[in-house]
Amino acid sequence: MLTQNASIMRLHLVIVCLVKSSILALNNLEFNPKLAKFALDFAAGAYGDYPVQCHTKRNSTLIFRYGRRCDAFHNECWAIIGLTDEWITVAFRGTQTKVQLIAELLESMTEPKHKIRAGGSVQHYFYVALDSIWAPINKITRKLKYLFPNRKILFTGHSLGGALASLASTVFADHHPKLLKDLYLITFGEPRVGNFEYAQAHDRLVPNSWRIVHRYDLVAHIPLCGAIYPRSCSPLFNHAPYHHGIEIWYQSNMTDTDLFRLCTGNPLNEDDSCSNAWYIHYNVNDHLTYYEHQVSKYGENGCVDPSDKSLTQGYESFEID
């Protein structure tokens, strides 16, 4: 029986690897660190009560800011839309409190995944969180794209914000298939959002998609995947959490001179030779810092590092009651 189960698992990994070539053909694989740092300021700004300064830094106009309670513990989820000469940016705030983190973990372990129209199933917490704020965000994003058809749409976020950005980009692309070439996703420390079928759907619908992982970031590896011997992640017949593409792994401190790795090895999107290989070193500290910025504090300070922060004055947030 054990031999039969092992054979089935190996067969499933072979299937995963076989679809790799067709998925990667959709992705342009042209990761741009400059664009990633641009996205980080919006992802960080989503943490702040006064995100205008982060937008101003990037010559962006803050168009809309919206938040709602999104779980049973009354934690809030937020999204911010900005507009530059080239981009419509949609940034989601990451986890704010320990209670919210516990809620995410508990629901991932106890609640069944939620099926989505685009394909596959996603973690219950992520689905409910996005659903709580999606209607106005979706409406305004569509309106801006109609008014500015030549501007591309960038979804971004850190931590929980990355998961919500992933799901939002997939849902948006599924409803607007003619816009696929204009949709981008860049996330930082994104947890596993859904199962293998969801990962396939995302890779098909959002070709310009990059998950940036800082060294031994723990959050990028939860919920735990369905690992088989020795440690390779397996879809487990769509029952296990599984990442979409494409992982960009920084092995050091993410300075301007640090090299990164484009992780396109096997298994598809869970490359054994990238961050998955360093499980004994996973930690929270690497999750908090990206491109030498402590993301949440950097955003709360108006995209100025706390060591040389300047006061943020005169800014008002845009909220809907």
**Strand duo 260-263 + 247-250: pairing:** antiparallel
- Alpha-carbon gap, residue 175 to 115, rounded angstroms: 16
Q: Which of 289, 247, 288, 241 is nearest to 269 (CA)?
A: 247
Fill in the amino acid letter for 256: D
- Alpha-carbon gap, residue 163 to 123, rounded angstroms: 10
Q: Which residues touch 48 (CB under 8 Å, ≥6 apart)?
A: 54, 299, 300, 301, 302, 312
Tokens representing residue 112 in the block: 């069944």
Torsion (CA) 258, 259, 261, 262 in degrees, nearest 10: 110
Residues marked active site are found at 159, 217, 287
